[in-house]
Amino acid sequence: MSEARILLVDDDRAHLELLAGRLATEGFEVARASSGSEALRRLDRSWPDLVILDLMLPEMDGQSLASLIKSRADIPIMVLSADATADSKVDLIAHFAEDYVTKPYDYAELAARVRRVLRRMRDQMPVEELDLGDLVLVPRRRQALVRGHAVPLSPTESRFLATLASSTPHVVSTEQLLRLVWADSDAADPAYVWVTVRRLRRKIELDPDSPRHLLTDPSGGYRLVADETTTE
């Protein structure tokens, strides 16, 4: 946890420096941005493990920035705001944020929330990158590299591949995939898995009808492999 990278976004430079310094003393690698455009430039250079942003920003408000960040990668976002209304919290957490902290805040509580968010996200997506030869998976960036060419992935596809990657080369059953990938769905159906597998094979396999990496196991589950085995 101590090596996690955090991007702080706040136009209040005094607060930005103070919070960055306190997090750095605990071992976090901290980058700073005082506007939405600067934050996006930093994202292009290096992907953080967590973004902590204030809602009141120049040029681009925090909610718009959060939306743009989520469109690029599954990076967890923690919102800092002086707005303590319940509706604001519910709306932001439902759409963009993993947590919402109201200013003024207690630093010890904020630090504890940071660790909790990072721990939860790492549990959900434990593999950052998996090299399978001509296929490289980067689930957190919603991306697969097929012979060096970037292929975008949906959030569900990213979670699906991350779940398989964390168990490679072992089989993950359909039931496990439903429980882990569609945890928030009240009526997850095995068809979700079949459709996702078919869609992913079209994206990451050179020949979707003869997959070499995303394989179906006779037991009824799926696995990722790096060799040249061909199966259905």
The per-residue pLDDT for range 103-123, each reduced to its tens digit, is: 889 999 999 999 988 887 766
> Are 47 and 76 within one domain?
yes
* Structural domain range at position 198: 130-224
> Are 100 and 169 within one domain?
no
179 three-state secondary structure: helix
Q: Is the pLDDT of residue 102 over 60?
A: yes
pLDDT, tens digit (0-9, with 9 covering 90-100), for 124-153:
655 667 888 888 988 767 788 998 898 888
CA distance 162 to 140: 8
**Torsions phi, psi for 31 (to 5 deg):** -110, 155
CA distance 149 to 147: 6
pLDDT bin (cut points 50, 70, 90) of residue 92 is confident
Q: Measured at the alpha carbon of residue 177, what is the angle toward residues 122 and 91, in degrees to the nearest 5? A: 60
Domain-ending residue, one of 54, 89, 124: 124
Cβ-based neighbour number of residue 40 at 10 Å: 16
Domain-ending residue, one of 124, 157, 192: 124
pLDDT at 59: 83
Let me know if residue 202 belongs to a domain. yes
Let me know if residue 97 belongs to a domain. yes
The radius of gyration of the chain's CA atoms, rounded to the nearest angstrom, is 19
pLDDT, tens digit (0-9, with 9 covering 90-100), for 6-52:
999 999 999 999 999 999 999 999 999 999 999 999 887 777 889 99
Q: Which residues contact 26 (CB under 8 A, 6 or more apart)?
A: 2, 111
pLDDT bin (cut points 50, 70, 90) of residue 58 is confident
> Are 120 and 152 within one domain?
no
| CA-based end-to-end distance of the chain | 39
Which residue is listed with tokens 């696995």?
A: 223
pLDDT bin (cut points 50, 70, 90) of residue 230 is very low
Q: Is the pLDDT of residue 86 over 70?
A: no
Which amino acid, 26? E
Let me know if residue 76 belongs to a domain. yes
Count up the domains in the chain and report the number: 2
Say if CB 87 and CB 66 are below 8 A apart: no
77 three-state secondary structure: strand
Say if CB 3 and CB 115 are below 8 A apart: no
